[in-house]
Amino acid sequence: MKVEFQLISSLPRLAWCACLRKNDGVVRLLHGPWVETRNDCFFEGAWDGPFEAYRFDQAVMLVGSGGRIVDEAILFASPGHMGDRLFSLSMENKLYVSNSFVFLLTKAGEELDINYPNYFLDFLSYYQSGIRITEKRIPIQGRRNVYLHDCCNILVKSDLTISRIEKNQSDPPLNFNDYVVFLERTISKIFENASHPARNQIYRPVTTISQGYDSTAASVLAGRAGCREAVTFRKSLSDDGHYVDDGGTVIAGYLGLQTTEYDRHDFNKLTDLSAAEFFMNPFAMTEELGILEDQLVGALLVTGIFGDCVWGMLKQSGLPLLQDPNLNVLSFGMTMAEFRFRVGFLHLPPAGCGAWHRPSIYRITMSPEMRPWSVGGKYDRPIPRRMLEEAGVPRELFGHRKMKGIPLAQSNFSLYSAEGESDFKEFYQTKVCKSARLHQTAGGHRKIQRHIVNHLRPLGRLLRPSAHQKLRYVIGYRLDPRLGSKDLYRFHWGFELTRERYQSALGESRT
């Protein structure tokens, strides 16, 4: 098997789509200008191993994705964390594999099912399940399914059969020092890989920082690996719904970082339909990440994503198989794929490194050795606190209150610009409401669903946590209050707008 590369300069920089025909022996790869290509492999990412070997598929932590010829097959590698994934679509004697959900369907000439509103809930449910569920299907028009592949490699043979191969894993950490040494070593290797001079595109580290636990602890690790550039938002939304000071500039000074401050409200200065490429999450404003666009070009972005579910003290922090059943919204780290491909940066979440060993990390968190760094209350994370205090950051500067990095749709904060709202309403009226089946059933379903939810909530509070978790596994999102909401169609709206850039690029390539 061999790869034929087709560079399309007008594609998003890091997007790629592989096209295979049954028993053809050739993988035709369409890719953006920053995707690295070699004779027998391609990739957009960095990993914790030597660059020249190109064995990203054997890495413990890969940020980004790629593919490599292995004998008479091709091995595709997904990221080593749950923030991104690969997608595949089989039709007749063809198979498409891509790092972009939109690119995949555009190249295959397929459409979303306009009668199916629950794409966001499907993605959320699959994220909650981690890799406890390995066969993840998303329905599209014509009774076809797109398959999601997260935290794994997939081997595709010439007959187009697909086999899942689990990622290599490190040894579980034994104590705090063992865990921190692993994180430091992993991040240092990824930094070295991302800046290797043999690359066509070199990435410089940039870390996010705030007054919370997760991004701040990630900045400690990034700083030790050589990062000197940080970004911070001056204010964030607190649990009581107010915007309060959350800037990390003072803390960054203790870590030797130079910080650029941003105002979240500046997202209003972005293009009016900039929220579209964050369509994966219709219920939280993730477009504010676009404020950082100029600084993120060519960056290896270090964030605190996954700190909630890896470094917390709640029981779900110790669940195996990357499960996070209580998550009810997707953060920007899980929805920024199209933005990342277009701008051209990589995403490294330190909490995702070694997250396979969450039960061991949870035992360390709750161990007697960590008690001096436990401050009590709902917002308490001993591992990040110890990292920061041992790095010389005074205790009073961080970890006081839980912040919401992104406003939720339930808040009184406008998630979309006026033009974005107008464009979505037009999309809903002209495309969604044409479906008589949806129009007739949505209202009645919402009333019945609300009635059931209101009566089962008291039962959920009475159940023990383990029983409540099992109930959530059984019912999935069937009792989610958002089920039946018109806002679920913001997924379709954003998908269609994002699709236009791929259609344009493919059209230009044919011309």
The band of 391, judged by pLDDT with boundaries at 50, 70 and 90, is very high
| Residue 245: per-residue pLDDT | 76
Residue 511 burial class via C-beta count within 10 angstroms: exposed 0-12, middle 13-18, buried 19 and up? exposed
Rounded Cα gap, residues 410 and 390, in angstroms:
38
Q: Which fold has domain 2-168?
A: Glutamine Phosphoribosylpyrophosphate, subunit 1, domain 1 (3.60.20)
Mean pLDDT throughout 249-256?
97
Instruction: Name the least confident of 3-7, 161-165, 297-301, 437-441.
Output: 437-441
Rounded Cα gap, residues 27 and 432, in angstroms:
37
The band of 240, judged by pLDDT with boundaries at 50, 70 and 90, is low
pLDDT digit string, tens, across residues 207-232: 999 999 999 999 999 999 999 999 99
Bridge-based pairing of strands 162-166 and 136-139 is unpaired
| 3 state DSSP class of 162 | strand
| Residue 326: per-residue pLDDT | 82
Rg (CA), the chain: 22
pLDDT at residue 408 tops 50:
no
pLDDT at residue 461 tops 50:
no
Token pair listed for 372: 């001096």
Find the Cα–Cα–Cα–Cα dihedral 220, 226, 229, 231, rounded to 10°.
Answer: -30
| Residue 450: per-residue pLDDT | 47
Rounded Cα gap, residues 256 and 315, in angstroms:
35
| Residue 454: per-residue pLDDT | 47
pLDDT digit string, tens, across residues 254-297: 999 999 999 877 766 666 667 789 999 888 766 678 889 999 99
**Which of 293, 302, 313, 342 lies closest to 34 in space, CA to CA?**
342
The proportion of the chain whose per-residue pLDDT surpasses 70, expressed as a percent, equals 84
pLDDT at residue 449 tops 70:
no
The band of 440, judged by pLDDT with boundaries at 50, 70 and 90, is very low
The band of 509, judged by pLDDT with boundaries at 50, 70 and 90, is confident
Q: What is the pTM of this model?
A: 0.90
pLDDT at residue 442 tops 60:
no
Mean pLDDT throughout 233-249?
73
| Residue 482: per-residue pLDDT | 83
pLDDT at residue 158 tops 70:
yes
Rounded Cα gap, residues 369 and 382, in angstroms:
10
| Residue 271: per-residue pLDDT | 65
Beta-carbon neighbour count of residue 50 at 10 Å?
12
The band of 510, judged by pLDDT with boundaries at 50, 70 and 90, is confident
Summary mean pLDDT of the chain: 88
The band of 413, judged by pLDDT with boundaries at 50, 70 and 90, is very low
- Every domain of the chain and the residues it spans: 2-168, 176-404
| Residue 458: per-residue pLDDT | 52
DSSP 178-220: HHHHHHHHHHHHHHHHHT-TT-SS--EEEEE-BSSSHHHHHHH
| Residue 290: per-residue pLDDT | 84
Instruction: Name the least confident of 197-211, 324-338, 469-483.
Output: 469-483
175, 369 contact by CB (below 8 A): yes
| Residue 409: per-residue pLDDT | 47
Bridge-based pairing of strands 346-348 and 299-302 is parallel
The band of 451, judged by pLDDT with boundaries at 50, 70 and 90, is very low
| Residue 288: per-residue pLDDT | 75
Mean pLDDT throughout 294-309?
95
pLDDT at residue 318 tops 70:
yes
Of the candidate CATH numbers 2.60.40, 3.30.2310, 3.40.50, 3.30.300, the domain formed by 176-404 belongs to 3.40.50
Q: Which residues pair with 404 in a beta bridge?
A: 237
pLDDT at residue 308 tops 50:
yes
The proportion of the chain whose per-residue pLDDT surpasses 90, expressed as a percent, equals 71
Return the beta strands (E) in 343-405 as ranges: 346-348, 403-404
